[in-house]
């Protein structure tokens, strides 16, 4: 497979479906590249709002849009409850890391990966200074039946703590690997995937 459709989900709502190029795929996990300007599907939520602040029971149609940022490499380690993003400027300079705490499930053919966001994240500067992100929203959602229990919240935070130890020790993936990544000029920007797309099946495998 050369393209994987990433479904980003919060609660029961799909916030975005973005196609990404598979850079590496092996037993260790999946590395994906989202190119600037990539066509995608985005939930049509009210202007000036963020999905995290809207009722989880809401239903929002998906509208065609484009990736509005610089490029991003996304590492989804096999069996882990997180992904690591390398964020680049539009000029292809490394800007920051971002740790997304999440659960994942892939379709049997691997063409789609469904990422359920767990709200709590970690931002990491190029000199490896890090801080938690969205702690208040994470706490507010804990115990809600659409999100996670208190016990699950503790496990989510523990996963984040494990990642911070990698950051502090400058261990992979925070050792400088991929920070100089430049996509080959021959790589085309993926096309907008068709809707509807089928649900993921089985357990998370990336």
pLDDT in tens, 75-126: 999 999 999 999 999 999 999 999 999 999 999 999 999 999 999 999 999 9
pLDDT at site 98: 98
| Structure tokens given for 172 | 């992979």
Binned at pLDDT 50, 70 and 90, residue 147 comes out as very high
Return the bridge partners of 87, or none.
Answer: 72, 96
Kindly state whether residue 12 falls inside one of the protein's structural domains. Answer: yes
pLDDT at site 49: 87
Kindly state whether residue 135 falls inside one of the protein's structural domains. Answer: yes
State yes or no: pLDDT of 166 exceeds 90: yes
Contacts of 22 (CB under 8 A, 6+ apart): 1, 2, 3, 4, 30, 31, 32
Kindly state whether residue 175 falls inside one of the protein's structural domains. Answer: no
Binned at pLDDT 50, 70 and 90, residue 42 comes out as very high
Query: pTM here?
Result: 0.92
CA distances from 100 to 16, 25, 63 (A): 15, 19, 24
Kindly state whether residue 51 falls inside one of the protein's structural domains. Answer: yes
pLDDT at site 196: 66
Binned at pLDDT 50, 70 and 90, residue 1 comes out as low
Kindly state whether residue 194 falls inside one of the protein's structural domains. Answer: no
Kindly state whether residue 25 falls inside one of the protein's structural domains. Answer: yes
Query: Exposure of 90 by Cβ count < 10 A (0-12 exposed, 13-18 middle, 19+ buried)?
Result: exposed
Kindly state whether residue 44 falls inside one of the protein's structural domains. Answer: yes
Overall number of domains in the chain: 1
Kindly state whether residue 173 falls inside one of the protein's structural domains. Answer: no
Phi, psi for 96 (deg, rounded to 5): -175, 165
CATH number of the domain within which 55 lies: 2.40.380.10
Host domain of residue 8: 3-168
């Amino acid at each position: 497979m050369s393209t994987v459709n990433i479904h980003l989900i919060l609660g029961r709502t799909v916030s975005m479906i973005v196609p990404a190029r598979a850079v590496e795929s092996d037993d260790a996990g999946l590395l994906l590249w989202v190119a600037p300007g990539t066509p995608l599907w985005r939930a049509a939520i009210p202007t000036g709002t963020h999905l995290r602040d809207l009722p989880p029971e809401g239903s929002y149609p998906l509208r065609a849009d484009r990736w509005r940022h610089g490029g991003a490499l996304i590492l989804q380690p096999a069996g882990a409850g997180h992904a690591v993003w390398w964020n680049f400027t539009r000029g292809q300079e490394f800007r920051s890391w971002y740790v997304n705490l999440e659960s994942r499930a892939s379709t049997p053919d691997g063409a789609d990966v469904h990422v359920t966001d767990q709200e709590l994240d970690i931002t990491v500067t190029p000199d490896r200074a890090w801080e938690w992100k969205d702690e208040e929203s994470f706490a507010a959602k804990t115990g809600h039946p659409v999100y996670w229990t208190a016990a699950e919240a503790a496990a989510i935070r523990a996963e984040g703590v494990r990642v911070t130890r990698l950051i502090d020790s400058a261990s992979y993936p925070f050792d400088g690997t991929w920070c100089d990544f430049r996509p080959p000029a021959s790589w085309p920007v993926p096309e907008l995937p068709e809707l509807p797309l089928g649900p993921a099946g089985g357990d998370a495998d990336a």
